[in-house]
A and B are shown apart, each in its own frame.
Chain A
């Protein structure tokens, strides 16, 4: 709809647009130029500072960091999907005694800042001299938060299946568990898939919080590498590298979610309207 906001530019508008475009380009180039000038003036990519990245041990350090990030994300994703499915089932229950507590749990864990949730599993065991690995502090925090968000996505997906589907299923004599399992879930999963993948991207990004509780993930590795005085503190290059890795992986997964959504939107495989990928919409936006 964006192209309905303005007319096809005529001669004067074309010139004006070109002028605005040129001015913007100049401003952006100056801004980037300033940053590059700072890079050059402070010799960010000097031989001393880049030497480290050619060492096999340092490359291993980065790869290990990335693997630790992926490991935490993978464990947390599996646990969050299970936790979310259980919560969603509870929230869709006919029994208020099951439904109401589940609603409260979902609301509570979504309201607590993720970092504070992680701190519960970090500081509390520390105080009682229980050894809980930072990996698990991170994973448990991620599981509770993302599980609650996923529960909302699952529930929205089930509710997005048109009423006629469940009415027809009840009419032919299926029990509630059968209606859920055989009729609603298969259709809902297709509708939810893009939103689920997007939420898993959020989860992957959130593993960077492990840095704050000193879990040795990618960002932590970048800090270690950047903090070496012998190589004149190459923070800039190490963080840019880490950033490029995050953007690459998360960007690819986001593109996968968008592709899934286009695919779902095209084919009539489900009566449910697909939940938008970026919109973890009704549920959550802009987590860490």
Chain B
């Protein structure tokens, strides 16, 4: 028990810094991927063929690429192009680029849950594509989108650990640091697990509540 507590109490600084960076990464990537993902979804359902093609192509390629590869490319290959990005911004870009493909798919399937009559009625009133999407379809789709979006965000929170392999001191990097300090690794990993459970629990609880509150019979 002593070793177990010691792993946390003696290394509070590393744990604090690690989880702080994790939360920062999560918040930045959440905002970025929600924006980019929504734009991609709008492109995929738009009347402009070129936009549809770009949206579809992006999603197909990114969904089938491992996130670790995107990280590795940004950290090792991009500097060879004489483009200088720091480790933390690289991690943000990788997470946004990857997660937005999944956000796009969720938003798009949400758009498909709205009854066709809604968009038809809006068009009958003479609304443009932007008006139909922005004022009629997306607000209604929102209720069915939010719960699965929360799943995507929870997955993204867990994915932030991959940044540990690429020189960002976040929660996933803690084991490597504490291995050097000779701390008990099992205890360290249990504490990290607890940390993630604490971060995920409110998100999951919110998701369940919204799911129940906004359940729609269509």
- Interface SS of chain A: helix, strand, loop or mixed? helix
A171 at interface by CB-CB < 8 Å = no
Which residues of the other chain, A, contact B90 by a CB distance below 8 angstroms?
none
Q: Are A286 and B192 in contact (CB under 8 A)?
A: no
Q: Are A115 and B161 in contact (CB under 8 A)?
A: yes
B31 at interface by CB-CB < 8 Å = no
Count, A-B residue pairs, CB within 8 A: 194
Q: Are B156 and A286 in contact (CB under 8 A)?
A: yes
Which residues of the other chain, B, contact A285 by a CB distance below 8 angstroms?
102, 105-106, 148, 151-152, 155
- The distance in angstroms between the C-alpha atoms of A120 and B189, with both chains bound, is 7
| Complex interface bits, B116-135 against A, C-beta within 8 A gives 1, otherwise 0 | 10011001000011001100
Known: A44-B80, A219-B69, A286-B156. A5 touches B45 (CB 8 A): yes
Q: Are B185 and A20 in contact (CB under 8 A)?
A: no
Known: A115-B162, A208-B68, A209-B162. A286 touches B133 (CB 8 A): no
Q: Are A254 and B64 in contact (CB under 8 A)?
A: yes
Q: Are B161 and A235 in contact (CB under 8 A)?
A: no
- Chain B residue nearest to A278 in the complex (CB): B105
Q: Are A6 and B129 in contact (CB under 8 A)?
A: yes
Which residues of the other chain, B, contact A13 by a CB distance below 8 angstroms?
47
| Complex interface bits, A91-116 against B, C-beta within 8 A gives 1, otherwise 0 | 00000000000000000000111111
B214 at interface by CB-CB < 8 Å = no
Q: Which residues of chain B from 48 to 84 have any CB-CB distance to chain A below 8 Å in the complex?
A: 48-51, 54, 60-61, 63-69, 72-73, 76-77, 80-83
Q: Are A212 and B165 in contact (CB under 8 A)?
A: yes
B196 at interface by CB-CB < 8 Å = yes
Q: Are A223 and B76 in contact (CB under 8 A)?
A: yes
Q: Are B156 and A6 in contact (CB under 8 A)?
A: no
Which residues of the other chain, B, contact A5 by a CB distance below 8 angstroms?
45, 47, 111, 119, 129, 132-133, 137
Which residues of the other chain, B, contact A112 by a CB distance below 8 angstroms?
158, 193, 196-197
| Complex interface bits, B27-53 against A, C-beta within 8 A gives 1, otherwise 0 | 000000000000000001111111100
- The distance in angstroms between the C-alpha atoms of A127 and B180, with both chains bound, is 11
Q: Are A2 and B148 in contact (CB under 8 A)?
A: no
Q: Are B161 and A239 in contact (CB under 8 A)?
A: no
B63 CB to closest chain A CB, in angstroms? 7
- The distance in angstroms between the C-alpha atoms of A39 and B82, with both chains bound, is 10
Indicate the size class of the contact surface on chain A: 35 or more
- The distance in angstroms between the C-alpha atoms of A25 and B54, with both chains bound, is 9
Which residues of the other chain, A, contact B45 by a CB distance below 8 angstroms?
2, 5
Which residues of the other chain, B, contact A251 by a CB distance below 8 angstroms?
60, 64
A42 CB to closest chain B CB, in angstroms? 5
- Chain A residue nearest to B118 in the complex (CB): A4
B210 CB to closest chain A CB, in angstroms? 15
Interface locus among A54-62, A153-161, A241-249, A260-268:
A241-249
Q: Are A288 and B172 in contact (CB under 8 A)?
A: no
A211 at interface by CB-CB < 8 Å = yes
- The distance in angstroms between the C-alpha atoms of A243 and B67, with both chains bound, is 11
Known: A5-B119, A212-B162, A288-B159. A123 touches B76 (CB 8 A): no
Which residues of the other chain, A, contact B129 by a CB distance below 8 angstroms?
5-6
Select which of B69, B83, B179 is within 8 A of A246 by beta carbon. Answer: B69
B183 CB to closest chain A CB, in angstroms? 9
Q: Which residues of chain A from 19 to 69 have any CB-CB distance to chain B below 8 Å in the complex?
A: 20-21, 24-25, 28, 35, 38-39, 41-42, 44
A185 at interface by CB-CB < 8 Å = no
Known: A1-B112, A6-B123, A123-B175. A284 touches B69 (CB 8 A): no
Q: Top 10 nearest A-B pairs by Cβ distance?
A: A208-B66, A286-B102, A212-B165, A250-B64, A113-B158, A208-B68, A21-B50, A123-B185, A235-B77, A38-B81
Chain B residues within CB distance 8 Å of chain A: 44-51, 54, 60-61, 63-69, 72-73, 76-77, 80-83, 98-99, 102, 105-106, 109, 111-112, 114, 116, 119-120, 123, 128-129, 132-133, 137, 148, 151-152, 155-156, 158-162, 164-165, 172, 175, 179, 184-186, 188-189, 192-193, 196-197, 200, 204
| 11 pairs from A and B in contact (CB 8 Å cutoff) | A1-B116, A6-B47, A6-B129, A112-B158, A116-B196, A127-B184, A212-B162, A233-B80, A279-B109, A285-B152, A286-B99
